[in-house]
Structure 1
């Protein structure tokens, strides 16, 4: 008896695969979880490399995937504190520490040889350095300051011209030098940057701006203390005050106890946030909170008090009552904590195990209330640090 013939193979043709257009490939690459994986995809073929290296795509990718925290740059002192294991970006942070020059020896010698170059702000991988005529003096005229913007990884720097005397007179004291954030728009030149100098005397508050596109300083904002309805602050030690950048605004929380100075670098406007709560003798910091708007964080003896205030862009803030949003408990395995600054929705803290032990540098995510150790075992204790996120955009084309 003959066996039945086996069934015929299914020879139905598969439908042709859809063509992956550039738009579809961009959407796929935007979902790649890390820049490392994106770099691997970039070398797969010429088409992938063309799409991934396009500036418009890289801007979109940076918006979806914020750059990792690689470490800290101490304020007003040379040096770099790289992220250490087990922090996720520790390999990149240690690589930057090996490759970069955070002593800034590649920058030409300052005009005043007894004054070193010191970092006063860090943004998007760039460092703003200044050299003062009277280093450490309480009163510093902005016209007596040299400024450069540098790239410590590729050892490049751009010198800024002196601030013209007719923009800032010698009686004004320095409130701070700031690197303005760049939005990364389609028409923006990747190598461009802006630097803002804020200064004051007993009657007037002024902001002057340098643009790398024009190569000139210009007056951007000027207000009298009377129009701001606040008292004149005292000059800060070293000629610079402590400020935080949050959600498009700069905040000075340390020069008044009862109010805060706010500066909008887009609209170039000053305003005053009144009636700052006095829950602690320690200075508050401002960072992006859980709802994507600025919140004030005040450190008490064993916790953070989250005080929420809503600042609508384009509106003059008028805050008479503050609402306590809640309390974030901190681990009690440390003797005490101190604040180091805030950026990108994170607060940075010193965790002091004991008076004999070196401090740990920690990060608190304001959205998840999760505390992570970034680095530690540093004998030097810095009272203020700037966060170094990602790699710098080139200063030259």
Structure 2
């Protein structure tokens, strides 16, 4: 008997099966976390499951979004310089979070400073992060010689593979339809570009197609364009008739920029929720249509207290909390949007979640972001979180999802801004050894 075979202790678990059979078995593992455990069993398994072709086949077979590895935040305050200490960057999940090891590996391997993007034109503006989804980041910068914050240069990139794509400019005939644009994004931009979710791949070797939306808010309409990597072209989307965004709706309500900056996604649709006016602006990524829905919301909610999430069974869920907590105890409420027959859609309360942070003197928590059925909350004792828009502060980031409704700490981070002062995206993915380029 050859060395290593006696007793079975040194046997390679894959040596008795042909590679093609082993590959088909591993391909049916339901997630990449299961692949990671299989890879730890032998070198042969590790070489097989980390190959790009195998990972593409696995991605085509399973809709596996990966684990929550951390949170990426970006400060948009004009006075905040980019770099360490300004609240910008990737904050990896920390122990005892189950994905802490993978998150640390990702943080070490990726370039979240985006230093690989072209910087050959010193007269152009600096790249600014505008959106994140499915491992891709969308950034823009003010073009050289124009100073335009309406039609900016756009780049989609993957900080792990350091690959990027520069999008073509919006054609002049489409640009001519945009006029009297109102500023958004902390006053630093007059457009809102964002990424559509990655579509399923058609084949094992296919790269996921890329779709980018561009919107601008004009006094009486929303202008929207869509770019697809399938044909490399921009096209216009029709706007709802006589749609009016008010610059300031009342002295006591959240200003409209807070509504426009809070774009949210669930099951193929993007939403902008105007609680005061009971209006939802809806962009359907499948039909490429914008529409306006009237969905009366419970009294007492401002847009910055509301977050839309993907609920199970294709439902649209909403997390919300009130402004005042007179008894010092705060609750988070979870609703689903339901429609009975021909009746108008309505919010249906599904669950009340007690929050462990007392709010007798101020509210120490605020809604930060959503993705894949989970909500990110920031908790800070340095100052009421919802008022701390002009300072850098230490904060704890927590996750609540629509399946368990358990509060789970992600990490501690340096944060800045609030509704209009900072963007925050939950980062789902895989350790570098099991990741594929997304661009």
Contact 2:316 2:336 in 1 (8 A): yes
TM-score, length basis structure 1 = 0.78
Contact 1:73 1:81 in 2 (8 A): yes
Contact 2:156 2:164 in 1 (8 A): yes
Larger Rg: 1
Q: Deviations along 1:267-319, whole A, 9 cap, x unmatched?
A: 1111223123332234411002355411122122412122320389xx9x973
Deviation of the 1:178 alpha carbon: 1.4
Q: Secondary structure at the match of 1:93?
A: helix
Q: Secondary structure at the match of 1:57?
A: helix
1:280 to 281, 285, 301: 301
**Structure 1: gaps spanning 5 or more residues:** 1-16
Contact 2:39 2:45 in 1 (8 A): no
TM-score, length basis structure 2 = 0.72
Q: Deviations along 1:207-256, whole A, 9 cap, x unmatched?
A: 2121223222122x212333xxx533449659972211111111112696
Counterparts of 1:377 and 1:52 in 2: how far apart (Å)?
36
Match of residue 394 from structure 1: 437
Match of residue 296 from structure 1: 318
Q: Secondary structure at the match of 2:106?
A: helix
Q: Deviations along 1:17-59, whole A, 9 cap, x unmatched?
A: 9999579725753378534124346843699658981633332
Contact 1:75 1:121 in 2 (8 A): no
Counterparts of 1:82 and 1:102 in 2: how far apart (Å)?
12
Match of residue 194 from structure 1: 211
Q: Deviations along 1:105-164, whole A, 9 cap, x unmatched?
A: 111128674632111111111100011369xx9x942x2x11000111122211111111
Change (3 A) 1:45 1:140: closer
**Structure 2: gaps spanning 5 or more residues:** 1-15, 77-87, 182-189, 249-255, 385-392
1:107 to 94, 99, 117: 117
Match of residue 176 from structure 1: 192
1:364 to 389, 392, 400: 400
Deviates more, 1:158-167 or 1:109-118: 109-118
Deviates more, 1:342-351 or 1:244-253: 244-253
1:165 aligns with 2:184: no
Counterparts of 1:299 and 1:305 in 2: how far apart (Å)?
6
Match of residue 244 from structure 2: 231
Q: Secondary structure at the match of 1:376?
A: strand
Change (3 A) 1:255 1:277: closer
Counterparts of 1:47 and 1:129 in 2: how far apart (Å)?
34
Contact 1:347 1:363 in 2 (8 A): yes
1:116 to 103, 123, 126: 126
Match of residue 269 from structure 1: 289
Q: Secondary structure at the match of 1:271?
A: strand
Map 1:5-44; keep pairs closer than 5 Å.
25=25, 29-30=29-30, 34-40=34-40, 43-44=43-44
Contact 2:301 2:321 in 1 (8 A): yes
Counterparts of 1:172 and 1:178 in 2: how far apart (Å)?
21
Q: Secondary structure at the match of 2:112?
A: coil
Counterparts of 1:343 and 1:185 in 2: how far apart (Å)?
21
Match of residue 53 from structure 1: 54
Q: Secondary structure at the match of 1:98?
A: helix
2:356 to 324, 331, 356: 331
